Amino acid sequence: MLLRNKERLFSVLCALLSLFVYSCKNTADVVSLPVSLPTLPENGVVTSQMSSFFKKNDNAILELSPDCEIEIVENEYKLKYGTVSEFPFSAKKKIKRIEYQTLFPSVAGSFSFFRILIPKKNNVEDAAFILKYLKNEKLQDSKKGNVYSYYEDSQFYFYGVFLPFSPLYEQDSYLLSVEMNFKDGEKAIIHSTGVVEKNTFREQILKFPKGKSKDLQNASRKKYNVQQAARHELWKIVTQPLTTGVWEITKPLDNTSRMTSDFCFTRKWVLNNGKLYSKDVHLGVDYGVPTGTPIYSLLDGVVVSSGLQELYGNMVIVNHGLGLYTNYCHMNKCLKKSDTLIKKGEVLGEVGMTGAATGPHLHIEARIYGIPIDYRKLEYLPQLFVVEP
Ligand SMILES: [Zn+2]
């Protein structure tokens, strides 16, 4: 009974504390906390229904998001679900509290975005992330890179990490860790986990005409694999964003009404002699349009690759920053060379049917850290800039 009362008192205190902090959130850029925070237990499980704070040691404070659970073994905590962040803290100093938000649901073949707001007084020296994909708590894949600011207003720098979810393997959860070093030598760490939903894919049969069937039989799988590995090295590179302002994508073509193959169709490639050539998962979207139709860059960026590639044909790759790349394939002509800065809507090339194509069309792909995502989901990017009041 006594224990229960203690527990109740504890949660009331936590609630009051959280209310106090949240009421300060939008007015102050740094937040004062009462010095007498509860100390994190050495061992055990801590769950929070609402945002709550703990003293980790004399220099650090932990904030648990609503619906968060951490497991502590000998003073080391492990996140089970939710988000936990660790900030520098001392009785004299005010904490560098960072606001964060995960945007969009997490679905295979799509992406989410983790946004971090840093008060402008807290200058970040550098920041990096590690993103792990798990199934039954077993590691399936991991990605890492630098974290950059992509926007600022009068109060905050906006930092962000894309969270892409591959359609090519199963993952039931992810774990994101961000470490930020401030110019004064202090640092903050955020761990965030979430559930990844599955996606289902449809089937399609591709029939190649005589000339193309011959080309395919002569195509080198080895060359394709070597080139694809080189592209994956390129897609891994996470740079400062080249798009400023609102990331509002333009259409890749004037007319996208004739879609001939959808994202993540599982496809059988059949030659003109009826034989099965290959099976693949379609990692882009195809639009059938006449040869010579102009192809536009979805966003500002820089061309990082341009030229003839096995199966992909003439291909232009544009880096938009934060790990986001768009790829435009089967071009009749590439009109932009590598290292060219590109504005949104600028012509990159002409539609054609070079490489593995059954007719003239644009194959457009978007990749984040090399993970293929449905490029049409990028339409929701302007929501990154909406900050809740
Ligand atoms: Zn395609």
The pTM score is 0.85
Q: Cα(38) to centroid of ligand 1, in Å?
A: 56
Q: How far is the CA of 282 from the centre of ligand 1 (A)?
A: 6
Residues 314-359: pLDDT tens digits? 999 999 999 999 999 999 999 999 999 999 999 999 999 999 899 9
C-alpha 174 to ligand 1 mean position (Å): 28
CA of 274 to the centre of ligand 1 (A): 21
The helix/strand/coil state of 58 is: coil
Per cent of the chain over pLDDT 90 is 51
What are 239-275's pLDDT values in tens digits? 999 776 678 999 999 999 999 999 988 888 888 888 8
Strand partners, 334: 349
Name the residue among 204, 193, 234 with its Cα closest to residue 67: 193
Angle at 182 between CA 180 and CA 183, to 5 degrees: 150
| Rounded distance from Cα 359 to ligand 1 centre (Å) | 11
User: Could you give all domains of the chain from N- to C-terminal order, each with its CATH number?
Assistant: 27-199 (2.60.40.10), 203-384 (2.70.70.10)
| d(CA 329, ligand 1 centre) in Å | 8
Contact, 18 vs 97, CB < 8 A? Answer: no
Query: Per the structure block, which two tokens stand in for 389?
Result: 């009041």
**Distance of alpha carbon 22 from alpha carbon 14, whole angstroms:** 12
